[in-house]
Amino acid sequence: MSRQKIDKLLVINSGSSSLKFTLFSMATEAMLARGLIERIGKPSANLAYWCGAGTRTNHPISADNHGQALECACKILTDDSEGVLKALNEVQAIGHRVVHGGEQFNAPCLVSDPVKSAIMECAALAPLHNPPNLGGIMACELVFPGIPNVAVFDTAFHQSMSQSAFLYAIPRKYYDQYHIRKYGFHGTSHKYVMQATAAFLKKPVEALKLITCHLGNGSSVTAIDGGNVIDTSMGMTPLPGLVMGTRCGDIDPAVVLFLARQGMMPDAIDDLLNKKSGLLGVGGIDTGDMRDLVDAAAAGNTSAAMALNMFGHRTAFYIGGYFSLLGGADAIVLTGGIGENCAPARKKIVERLTAIGCILDEAQNTEVRGRAGVITTKASRTPVIIMPTNEELMIARETFKLLNDAPASQATASKAL
């Protein structure tokens, strides 16, 4: 398929009960439309839709499964009043977010039966994500017969880590038999902001050492040297690393054993650490949303203030460690909902980074929101840059590049090891 023939490209992010879709014109990388279908399988299912830069419209829908949800998305994309397509056959390629690619995928690949089998095999490592990701792919194969589908993996970008970084200090047989190791996540976001920061600094990626921080409900930090990942804070699953919205991040593994010995069942421990901990668990205000915690802390809530301080402490801890591993950094990059928009949370991080030459510019920190900008003073040895992420556009770019650069027969998975 030649470069000139691909223009309309659809990006799908299929969750357990949701489906996000974004339509791009790759000639200009313009976002033509996007939507979010939530509560699939429930009577309250809803489709939120944006046509270009237009305002959001909401549409109650009936969608018992992801196939029906995709049909609803297709219907509004071709709607006479709100749609941007005259017919579905205008869509020429589809890119899919797949959370876990294990060691089998270090790059995007064209979907085939073996690739689908491999995605399902990785479901043991991401049981909440890979099955719905695969469901979205299979739904697209039915609705868009003959259109190429490309899988873009959250874990792929991190496959450049060395064994000394990704192995755990347990007997090697557990890695060999069960593939227990660090994989890392948010790779699509980290790769996007790496490239965007290089453009912002007007330097090639290969010449840069960056520490990228994806800070949202899920958060992770990645050390990048010349485009290669040296280390990242998430592990075999997205649980370890930073203090997140509902995830505890790093914790003594003996805590899990202690809770089990108190009679707590594995599923209950999993639920505690993934869904009831982090900012939600510490903040004490029944929400893990950073905006609510900032407001509560400003109003004098000491638990919320503690959560905010823990978030800053843990993030700065990882940044400092990665600064040392890299032998310095050209920039610290903050992205994600918190990184792009929450000045108080950013302050809690940067004020702990004076030892590596980051001096917060209070005015810039307040002013820079949702756009690229520097929030440290000109005298800082290491700048902190705010860089908005765009995972959907990165998936579109990866899909477009794969289909244009290689014949379908060559667009296959490659081994990381």
Residue among 80, 154, 225, 292 flagged as catalytic: 154
Amino acid at 277: S
| Residue in 159, 204, 213, 161 with CA at minimum distance from that of residue 338 | 213
Residues 91-113: b if buried by 16+ CB within 10 A, e if exposed: bbbbbbbbbbbbbbbbbbbbbee
Written as one letter, the residue type at 13 is N
Q: Which of 297, 300, 329 is nearest to 203 (CA)?
A: 329
Rounded CA-CA distance 25/296 in Å is: 42
The answer to whether residue 361 is catalytic is no
Three-state SS for 200-250 is HHCCCHHHCEEEEEEECCCEEEEEEECCEEEEECCCCCCCCCCCCCCCCCC
The dihedral sign for the CA sequence 337, 139, 72, 4: positive
Q: Which two tokens stand for residue 298?
A: 């400003």
Contact 187, 161 (CB under 8 A): no
C-alpha 313, offset from chain centre:
22
Q: Is residue 35 a contact partner of residue 48, using CB atoms and an 8 Å limit? A: yes
> Radius of gyration (Cα) for the chain, nearest Å?
21
Distance CA(214)–CA(233), nearest Å, equals 11
Residue positions annotated with a catalytic role: 154
